[in-house]
Amino acid sequence: MIDFSNTEIAFKMKTNMDLRQSKLLFSTLSSPSVVSALKSLTLASLALRLPIKGIVKATVFRQFCGGESVAECTPQIARLAEGKVGAILDYSVEGKAREEDFDRTLATTIETLVYAQNNADVPFGVFKPTGVGSIDIYEKVSLGKELTPAEQKSWELTLGRWKQIIEKANELGVPVMVDAEESWIQPAVDELVIQYMRTYNQGKAIVYNTAQLYRHDRLAQLEGALELAKKDNFVYAVKIVRGAYMEKERERAQKMGYPSPIQPTKAATDKDYNAALTLILSNLDHMAVVIGTHNEQSVQLAAKVLNDKGLELAHPRVHVAQLFGMSDHISFNAAAAGLNTAKYLPFGPVRDVLPYLFRRAEENTSVEGQTGRELGLIQKEVQRRRA
C-alpha cells in the first residue's frame, strides 16, 4: 500500500514560504463566490489594460503553471525531478481560432518535444487538437459533413500540423499524448490517432490517445481498441482521465435534444475508470497507459494490479500523472513507492493561459473535498515542520 498521508515526502520540494502561499490560495479557492468575483475582476482589469499581470503571475499562475516559456519552466522541472517526478510540458493556450495561432502552438509543441529528447525528466510531449485546428471543422469532420473549399484548405493545414508533431515525436523517440476534446468533435480525433498508431506504435508506444471515463461509452471504446490493436498488431496507448467538460456536455445534450454522453453518477464514472485501468494493466502486451487521476484509490489499484500480476511498479508502459499545483501527496508518494510519475506542467503567456487557470480555480471549488483535502495536507505539513 502506498502511504498518501506522508506530507514530508509530498511537500519536500516546497519551502515554508511556498506552503504559506499555497495555503492562502486554496483558502481563497474554497469560496465559489470569491472565485467568481476574482474571475470577473481579472477579466475587467485586463480589458482596461490595468497592470495586474504581476499579481496573477505571483499567485494563481505560480501555483498551477511552470512559466511563460519552456525556458522559464526549467527550475520547476528540476524541482520535480528531485522528488523523482517527471514533467509533461503542456502549452496551455486555449480559445484561439486563427491559423497563425495554430502555427504558434505547432512550433511550441515541437520545441517541447526537442526539449524532452534532451531531458530525461520530461517523459512525454502533449498537444490539444483544437490548439492546432478549428473546433468547428473538427465537428463537421466528426459528423461526416462536406467541407467548403476554405474549410477543406484549413483542414489540410490542421492535418499537416498533426503530421509534423507526430513525425517529430517518432523521430526523437518522445511519446506524445493527444488530449481529449468534447464528445461532438472526438470522433475525428479518435480516427486520426488510430491512423498514426497503426504507423508508429509498432512494438512501442509513441502516440497516445485520451479517454474520458465520465463518458458512459468510453469503456466499451477501449475494449474495442484493444481488440483492434491485437488484430492489427499495434500498441494502443492511452491516457485515461475521468473528464473535464461535464456541465458543458450535459447542457448541450439537453439543449439539442440528444441523450447525454455523461455517466449518470460519480460512482458510475469511478467504476468504469477502475475497470478501464484493470483492463489496460491486464493487457500491457498490446496497450500502454498514463493514469491521469487525482484519486488515491485509483493509484492504489494500479499498484495492486501490477503487484498481483508480478509486474514491476516502474513498468515502462505504465505512468501515473497529476496536474502541477495539485495532489502533491499522490505524485511524490507514488514516485517514492516506485511508480513512474509525472506532473502536467502548463505554460504560456499569462494572458493566454487565463482560461486554463480559471478552469483550475473553478475545479478546485466545485470538486467535492478537493480544496479541503489540499488545505488539510498543507496544514499537516506546516505543523510537522513546527514540531
Domain assignment present for residue 31? The answer is no
Domain assignment present for residue 177? The answer is yes
Domain with 217 in it: 66-353
Q: Is 380 exposed, middle or buried (0-12, 13-18, 19+ CB in 10 A)?
A: middle
Domain assignment present for residue 233? The answer is yes
- Pair 381, 11: CB distance under 8 Å: yes
Domain assignment present for residue 52? The answer is no
Q: Kindly give the residue spans of alpha helices, DSSP state H, lying in the chain.
A: 7-10, 16-29, 32-47, 53-58, 60-64, 70-82, 99-117, 135-142, 149-172, 186-200, 218-232, 246-256, 266-281, 296-308, 328-337, 354-366, 370-386
Q: What is the CA radius of gyration of the chain?
A: 20
Closest CA to 108 of 128, 85, 136, 79: 128
118 φ/ψ sector (left φ>0, alpha ψ -120 to 50, else beta): alpha
Please report, in tens digits, the pLDDT of each residue of the chain (387 residues total): 899 999 999 999 999 999 999 998 888 877 778 778 878 888 788 777 777 788 889 888 999 999 999 999 999 999 999 999 999 999 998 778 899 999 999 999 999 999 999 899 999 999 999 999 999 999 999 999 999 999 999 999 999 999 999 999 999 999 999 999 999 999 999 999 999 999 999 999 999 999 999 999 999 999 999 999 999 999 999 999 998 778 889 999 999 999 999 999 999 999 999 999 999 999 999 999 999 999 999 999 999 999 999 999 999 999 999 999 999 999 999 999 999 999 999 999 998 998 888 877 776 665 556 778 899 999 999 999 998
For the chain, give the number of residues.
387
Domain assignment present for residue 149? The answer is yes
Domain assignment present for residue 56? The answer is no
Q: CATH no. for residue 140? A: 3.20.20.220
Number of structural domains, the chain? 1
Domain assignment present for residue 57? The answer is no
**Cβ atoms < 10 Å from Cβ of 375:** 17
- Pair 193, 163: CB distance under 8 Å: no
d(CA 80, CA 335): 11
d(CA 102, CA 127): 11
Domain assignment present for residue 230? The answer is yes
d(CA 48, CA 355): 18
- Pair 287, 224: CB distance under 8 Å: no
d(CA 161, CA 105): 9
Q: Which residues pair with 344 in a beta bridge?
A: 88, 323
